[in-house]
């Protein structure tokens, strides 16, 4: 059952499928990438789409296992010791190469050397590691984070630290030279006090110390309504980004007795938690990227450079496991009460949103960045103006329902999106629905089937030529 569940979820950072015995190059690249990242399982006998085909009966399984072990031993340095075994799934034999994350990072192909033969896992693909990736792997081997490293290019004399003093003053804690040392924001090197990268990040010295914010019209990043770019110390960036979001989110009022309480449609504690996570866990060693925050009609999207830490997966995070990319930054934010408890951030975001009757946030690792979607309040009230019918959808935006949609009121946001698309483009297909709603093929077909049965849309054509139009 465990293997069936893994196969059903498809290829991921820790899972790869091969329908037949792959070429030697493919095996050793995948094993190397798994060893350098989060470990993983390579299934041989499973198609890319997850179909269980099994290994040909003509293949000597034990001979192939020995060959794979020898290939890995002869091709990868340092030595990798995977587990290779067979499992029977639906009466078909599958070979599994299970690889564990190594401690002697980085692992690389002997024939290409470290600089050209190191591979990492990004999403469901193997990627040749850049020099920056290799340096990061070597840091991980030393159990050191980027923010802990000493920065010799900047002198402490250049730093204005009032912003830190003010943060500590807010919570009634002292801030002095001893505090800087205890938090490892400065270190003593050759009897001289020098800053770590963490202090430069907090002070906003690096070029990628910024958050780019934008408000878009609709659900796609095409038409700007507003945009801002925030730089400076990390606490000002956080505060300014929060204010930007407050300016573009709706307030809802509640009357309790004689008191009126106004709250934002997405709870601010959830937004703050997501922003703090992005600031603490992003990859600051990559100077070419920064955090992006986008407000759409239906959601707030926060994109942070750097995937999840190599040693864990999203499933680990959901179970409360914590792995910090920037150790000093996390320690400072914990000291200043921006973090309540290690390993609770993601679950807290989800809980806060769902307690406020919002759609469950979508938190994914896409390649080498983390993508968080916080959905805005969805209203399902209807408005009639003469013979015209409207629905109030995300963020209170009023949309006209096409007359040809029939008498049924469309209050489902996914179906509303489909209706709106057909109204503009005359028809829609299941593949378009997949991309439009970001759902899998089966879910797209189920939604369209429901809409046909509800006589909202009409199915025309067959097989690959199937299209859906507004029912006249």
Res 207: pLDDT = 85
Bond into 106 cis (ω within 30): yes
What confidence tier does 1 reach under pLDDT thresholds 50, 70, 90?
A: low
Query: Can you tell me which residue has the tokens 């790869």?
Result: 16
The residues spanned by each domain of the chain are 2-138, 146-203, 212-375, 403-470
What confidence tier does 334 reach under pLDDT thresholds 50, 70, 90?
A: very high
Please determine, for residue 183, whether its predicted confidence score (pLDDT) is greater than 70: yes
Matching CATH number, 2-138, of 3.90.226.30, 3.30.950.30, 3.30.420.40, 3.20.20.140:
3.30.950.30
CB 28 within 8 A of CB 71: yes
Q: What is the pLDDT of residues 129-168, one digit of tens each?
A: 999 999 999 999 998 999 999 998 888 877 789 999 999 9
Is 212-375 in CATH node 3.30.565.60?
A: yes
Beta strands in 306-402, from DSSP E residues, in sequence order: 362-366, 369-375, 382-385, 388-392, 398-400
CB 206 within 8 A of CB 284: yes
Is 403-470 in CATH node 1.10.10.10?
A: yes
Distance, CA of 36 to CA of 32 (rounded, Å): 6
Q: What is the pLDDT of residues 273-291, one digit of tens each?
A: 999 999 999 999 888 789 9
Give the closest residue to 102 by CA, choosing from 173, 31, 152: 31
Query: Can you tell me which residue has the tokens 């980004």?
Result: 241
Beta strands in 19-82, from DSSP E residues, in sequence order: 40-44, 76-77
Domain 2-138 and domain 403-470, same fold? Reply is no
What confidence tier does 341 reach under pLDDT thresholds 50, 70, 90?
A: low
Higher pLDDT, 97 or 399: 97
Please determine, for residue 383, whether its predicted confidence score (pLDDT) is greater than 50: no
Q: 196 in helix, strand or coil? A: strand
CB 263 within 8 A of CB 360: no
What confidence tier does 261 reach under pLDDT thresholds 50, 70, 90?
A: low
Distance, CA of 206 to CA of 193 (rounded, Å): 20
Distance, CA of 16 to CA of 124 (rounded, Å): 7
Mean per-residue pLDDT, 431-448: 87
Higher pLDDT, 285 or 388: 285
Please determine, for residue 436, whether its predicted confidence score (pLDDT) is greater than 90: no
- Contacts from 272-275 at CB under 8 Å and sequence distance 24+? 272/238, 272/242, 273/345, 273/348, 273/349, 273/352, 274/302, 274/349, 274/372, 274/374, 275/211, 275/238, 275/241, 275/242, 275/302
Res 253: pLDDT = 58
């Amino acid at each position: 059952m465990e293997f069936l569940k893994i196969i059903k979820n498809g290829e991921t950072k820790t899972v790869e499928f091969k329908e037949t015995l792959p070429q030697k190059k493919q095996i050793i690249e995948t094993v190397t990438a798994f060893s350098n990242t989060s470990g993983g399982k390579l299934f041989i006998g499973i198609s890319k789409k997850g179909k269980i085909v099994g290994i040909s009966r003509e293949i000597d399984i034990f001979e192939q296992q020995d060959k794979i072990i020898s290939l890995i031993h002869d091709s990868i340095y340092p030595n990798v010791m995977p587990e290779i075994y067979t499992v029977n799934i639906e009466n078909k034999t599958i070979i599994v190469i299970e690889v564990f994350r190594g401690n002697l990072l980085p692992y690389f192909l002997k024939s290409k050397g470290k600089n050209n033969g190191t591979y990492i896992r990004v999403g469901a693909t193997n990627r040749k590691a850049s020099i920056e990736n290799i340096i990061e792997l070597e840091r991980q081997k030393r159990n050191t984070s980027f923010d802990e490293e000493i920065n010799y290019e900047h002198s402490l004399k250049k730093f204005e630290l009032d912003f830190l003093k003010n943060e500590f003053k807010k919570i009634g804690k002292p801030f002095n030279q001893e505090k800087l040392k205890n938090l490892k924001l400065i270190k003593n090197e050759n009897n001289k006090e020098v800053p770590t990268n963490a202090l430069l990040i907090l002070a906003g010295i690096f070029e990628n110390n910024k958050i780019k914010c934008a408000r878009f019209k609709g659900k796609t990043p095409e038409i700007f309504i507003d945009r801002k770019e925030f730089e400076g110390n990390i606490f000002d960036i956080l505060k300014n980004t929060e204010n930007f979001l407050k300016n573009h989110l709706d307030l809802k009022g509640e009357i309790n007795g004689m008191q009126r309480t106004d709250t934002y449609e997405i709870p601010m504690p959830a937004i703050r938690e997501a922003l703090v996570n992005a600031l603490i866990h992003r990859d600051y060693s990559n100077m070419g990227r920064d955090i992006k925050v986008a407000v759409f009609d239906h959601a707030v999207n926060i994109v942070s450079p750097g995937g999840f830490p190599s040693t864990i997966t999203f499933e680990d995070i959901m179970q409360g496991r914590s792995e910090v990319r920037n150790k000093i930054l996390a320690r400072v934010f914990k000291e200043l009460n921006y973090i309540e408890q290690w390993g609770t951030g993601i679950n807290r975001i989800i809980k806060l949103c769902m307690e406020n009757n919002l759609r469950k946030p979508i938190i994914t690792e896409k390649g080498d960045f983390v993508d968080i979607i916080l959905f805005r309040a969805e209203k399902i009230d209807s408005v009639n103006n003469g013979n015209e019918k409207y629905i109030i959808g995300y963020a209170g935006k009023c949309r006209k329902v096409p007359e040809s949609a029939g008498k049924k009121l469309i209050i489902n946001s996914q179906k509303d999106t489909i209706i709106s698309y057909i109204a503009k483009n005359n028809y829609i297909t299941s593949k378009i629905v997949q991309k439009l709603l970001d759902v899998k093929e089966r879910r797209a077909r189920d939604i369209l089937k429901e809409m046909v049965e509800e006589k909202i849309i009409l199915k025309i054509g067959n097989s690959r030529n199937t299209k859906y139009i507004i029912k006249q």
